[in-house]
Chain A
Amino acid sequence: GAVVSQHPSWVICKSGTSVKIECRSLDFQATTMFWYRQFPKQSLMLMATSNEGSKATYEQGVEKDKFLINHASLTLSTLTVTSAHPEDSSFYICSARDSGRGPWGTQYFGPGTRLTVL
């Protein structure tokens, strides 16, 4: 149980285009989902927290107009990288908290999406 999927697993796009990444909790409901970014050989950096049905909360330094987050249902959150540039190339990982366990719910992570912007 507790599986989180991400799609696509990797994507290559041209500079200036937008890319959408989907995150789904497959066997549990997730009121809260998180989006992280990870550079090679570095730790996970929290970008934003999304709550179902409300606006996402972005961490300091993360451009909310560039990284659009939508959490439309209890099992789906999307991250759209708008007008992507090469510096946006990174490994993006989503995480979902099992709502059934309240705020103490474990965070489960997706397999990540490798974004390369040419």
Chain B
Amino acid sequence: QQQVKQSPQSLIVQKGGIPIINCAYENTAFDYFPWYQQFPGKGPALLIAIRPDVSEKKEGRFTISFNKSAKQFSLHIMDSQPGDSATYFCAAKSGNTPLVFGKGTRLSVIA
């Protein structure tokens, strides 16, 4: 059973557009929701993370929106650039448990 469902699987946007990636979870014990960015052949890099006591967090061009009642969270990338083309993973964990990852979204930003 997949604990974190991520969509879409792939996404193509034009430069300057705002790609949105969504994740949904079932485990109400999850209390930490990070997003990671991964380039081919590299390890994932932490982009931004949120805890369920806030509904939105912004860091630079990246924003997480969190809806606790719907058990959903999403990543928005403002003013997307070709350099943002990568695979994005949402994840979640509860307390001391290891991160559980979504299946990933391959984002292509075309000029």
Is B78 part of the binding interface, using a Cβ–Cβ cutoff of 8 Å?
no
Q: Please give the distance in Å from A40's CB to the nearest CB on chain B.
A: 9
**Contact bitstring B28-70, A, C-beta under 8 A = 1, else 0:** 0000101010000111111001000000000000000000000
Please classify how large the interface on chain A is, using the bins under 10, 10 to 19, 20 to 34, 35 or more: 20 to 34
- Provide the residues of chain B in CB contact with A109, threshold 8 Å: 36, 43-46
Chain B residues contacting A110 (CB-CB under 8 Å) are 43
Number of B residues near A (Cβ < 8 Å) is: 21
Complex alpha-carbon distance, A44 and B45, angstroms: 13
Q: How far is the CB of A67 from chain B (nearest CB, A)?
A: 16
A residues less than 8 Å from B42 (CB atoms): 111-112
Contact of A93 among B43, B49, B100, B106 (CB under 8 A): B43
- A and B contact pairs by CB, cutoff 8 A, 24 listed: A4-B43, A6-B43, A32-B96, A41-B106, A44-B44, A44-B89, A46-B99, A49-B98, A91-B41, A93-B43, A93-B44, A103-B96, A104-B32, A104-B95, A107-B34, A107-B46, A107-B98, A109-B36, A109-B43, A109-B44, A109-B45, A112-B41, A112-B43, A114-B41
Q: Which B residues are closer than 8 A to A by beta carbons?
A: 32, 34, 36, 41-46, 49, 89, 95-96, 98-104, 106
